[in-house]
Structure 1
């Protein structure tokens, strides 16, 4: 209550010497600025949320596609080469789920729309160095490993190509047949060693979190589009408010300011005995009531003046 009174007093001091139209414009500007700030903040949050939902939906759709490729490879491709894989005499990269998923995603990236998207099954000790986790991804894998309940992470990250939104999901090493390629170099197929060497991708243990499935979706364009929409809406809102203020000012000047100015001038003339015409009452609103009140006051004043004149005579 005290703060409200203080604000009221400050407002009165600021507007004390302003004319009625200026006071009204001052109030309109305060309302206008408040509306712009509050509306801009709310709309910015809504646009950011919508942009993030769009990015998340894109990421989830691509992850679902990659998981479908992985499942197809595991369920349909591997059984076709089961004998060769058991003999361990030949290494077939196409039977590796992560290899198939990466190849399919590389084909997706040939589309201009997806060229900046990145799919990676980041691994602590990968067979193919292209899958090696960087420091950021290694941290995610370690968090997955230390917290079994944590199966997914998401957020924003700066990449050389720009700001990206990522979704990372835990992938456990739980397929015993994979140990023939990832336990020790002497058990791995010679064709695998010929392709990838004997230094990488070994020492894996079952039921350990050693890699994470990560999709990176470029966010700059989507966020820029949201920012452009925000500026467009704010510009339209400012234009609408400017038109409203202009129209209100014109109506205010015509319906309030001009009648009050006429009443004020006539009242000043009557007070000095220089006017005999009545105050114009063109409406029944507050201005009309004011004019009628001045007319009654003028009549009372004229009667009083005549009585005084007659008494003096």
Structure 2
């Protein structure tokens, strides 16, 4: 099948295969690089925000809670400002009031929360349960256990970071062990049915922060196609330039030599093949010219040879 294909077409097919392979390789490598880069960008945002929320929690626990805890026994309604999770959530909701951060989400998803707005949904429940299994199956500090990844919601794609929430202080059990031990204001505000039965060192929830990733991912994909498009343009230009070079230095001289040889085969010795370069084509051209001279001499010798008597 390939016997009837011209040399230029064969070279173009070979170049097309090589350049296509290069393009696919570049596309794959670039995709991986840009995906990792996009993930790093959104992960940095999420990590910064979750550390900020932890600072808020620490501040509430160390400075606000001691000042207000005594009032929980006397107030008619519970003071949620004493709860680190409440403070962090409220501050984050204030941040979300800015249009720029409206698609950022923070939640301390809990399996059995006092405040039902912290109730874990199906996705969050799976994360909490996986933390419980991981902590139970391997050793390590609670801070070492972290999950992250992408999550698709109706509004777009989110990147989330989740960390386990455990009961690590005896003081937490004041409000979460038994209803009889809880402050009266808590019972009056939230009732006796939720937020109890917690145990020391038990993982009760997950601290989850989600940041929008759709825009970053889209920009990474646009950049990938832009780079691939530029690469294809340069590859096509390379093919064109290489074709011109091959035509001028190889295929055209070969075609001329073919025509020259055809004329020689018919006895036309008036033509002269000129090729000034010293490359392989030039060597072949000089050989053909010597062959022409040799054939001409041989023909003349035959013609001038006297006939036998």
Give TM-score, length-normalised by structure 2. 0.90
Instruction: Give the match for residue 146 of structure 2.
Output: 152
Structure 1: distance between partners of 2:15 and 2:75: 81
Deviation at 1:65, TM superposition (A): 0.7
Instruction: Give the match for residue 105 of structure 1.
Output: 92
1:42 to 2:29 alignment: yes
Deviation at 1:180, TM superposition (A): 2.7
Distance of aligned partners of 1:190 and 1:86 in 2 relative to their CA distance in 1, 3 Å threshold: closer
Contact 1:89 1:189 (8 Å CA) reproduced: no
Structure 2: distance between partners of 1:88 and 1:108: 29
Deviation at 1:90, TM superposition (A): 5.9
Contact 1:266 1:275 (8 Å CA) reproduced: no
How many pairs does the alignment contain?
Answer: 300
Q: Which runs of 5+ in 1 are unaligned?
A: 1-12
Instruction: Give the match for residue 192 of structure 1.
Output: 186
1:166-196, Cα deviation, whole Å (9 max, x unpaired): 2111111122223232233343334333433
Structure 2: distance between partners of 1:247 and 1:163: 44
Instruction: Give the match for residue 132 of structure 1.
Output: 119
Task: Tell me the SS of whatever aligns to 1:201.
Answer: coil
Deviation at 1:82, TM superposition (A): 4.2
1:237 to 2:231 alignment: yes
Give TM-score, length-normalised by structure 1. 0.89
**Equivalent of residue 167 in structure 2, options 173, 196, 199:** 173
Structure 2: distance between partners of 1:91 and 1:291: 102
Structure 2: distance between partners of 1:145 and 1:100: 25
Contact 2:109 2:208 (8 Å CA) reproduced: yes
Q: Which runs of 5+ in 2 are unaligned?
A: 139-143
Deviation at 1:134, TM superposition (A): 1.0
**Equivalent of residue 208 in structure 1, options 198, 202, 207:** 202
Q: Any residues of structure 2 matched to 1:11-50 within 5 Å, and which? A: 13=1, 15-50=2-37
Coordinate RMSD, CA, aligned: 1.9
**Equivalent of residue 253 in structure 2, options 259, 266, 276:** 259
